[in-house]
């Protein structure tokens, strides 16, 4: 994979999640999108493109998934967490914005703040 804007390229990937079905989700902050790779496939599908609605910018450094399969993207400069509703295992629809209080780097990286993806 070379750096770039095409669906087979990344431009600053910042987070990777693997769900219970073996799907891999990559937060490509530089291209403002989330790519999904299903098991056995070498080419990903863009399941969420944040450039259309400014959902998150190139400072989206982290991503998590809840037990329902919804994705949460932490936007550092925007100081918010975006919930992205997954309607199927291969598409997303709608976002919910949560503006968070400013936290310190100490709070962000404390081990007791880590939540496992289940």
Supply the pLDDT for residue 118: 39
Q: Do the Cβ atoms of 15 and 26 come closer than 8 Å?
A: yes
Say whether pTM exceeds 0.85: no
Q: Compute the distance between CA of residue 110 and CA of residue 79 in angstroms, rounded to an integer.
A: 18
- Residue % of the chain over a pLDDT of 70: 68
Q: Which of 65, 18, 15 is nearest to 37 (CA)?
A: 18
Task: Count Cβ atoms within 10 A of the Cβ of residue 115 and give its class: 0-12 exposed, 13-18 middle, 19 or more buried.
Answer: exposed
Domains and CATH numbers, the chain: 13-109 (2.40.10.500)
| Alpha carbon 51 to chain centroid, angstroms | 13
Question: What residues does 46 pair with on adjacent strands?
Answer: 35
Res. 114: pLDDT tops 50: no
Supply the pLDDT for residue 110: 41
- Residue % of the chain over a pLDDT of 90: 20
């Amino acid at each position: 994979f070379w750096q770039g804007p095409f669906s087979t390229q990344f431009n600053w990937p910042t987070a990777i999640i693997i769900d219970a079905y073996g799907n891999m989700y990559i937060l490509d902050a530089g291209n403002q999108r989330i790519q999904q790779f299903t098991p056995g496939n070498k080419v990903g599908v863009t399941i969420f493109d944040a450039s259309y609605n400014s959902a998150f910018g190139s400072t989206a450094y982290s991503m998590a998934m809840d037990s329902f399969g919804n994705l949460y993207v932490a936007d550092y400069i925007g100081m918010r967490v975006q919930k992205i509703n997954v309607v199927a295992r291969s598409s997303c629809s709608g976002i919910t914005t949560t503006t968070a209080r400013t936290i310190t780097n100490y709070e962000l990286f404390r081990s007791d703040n880590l939540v496992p993806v289940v």
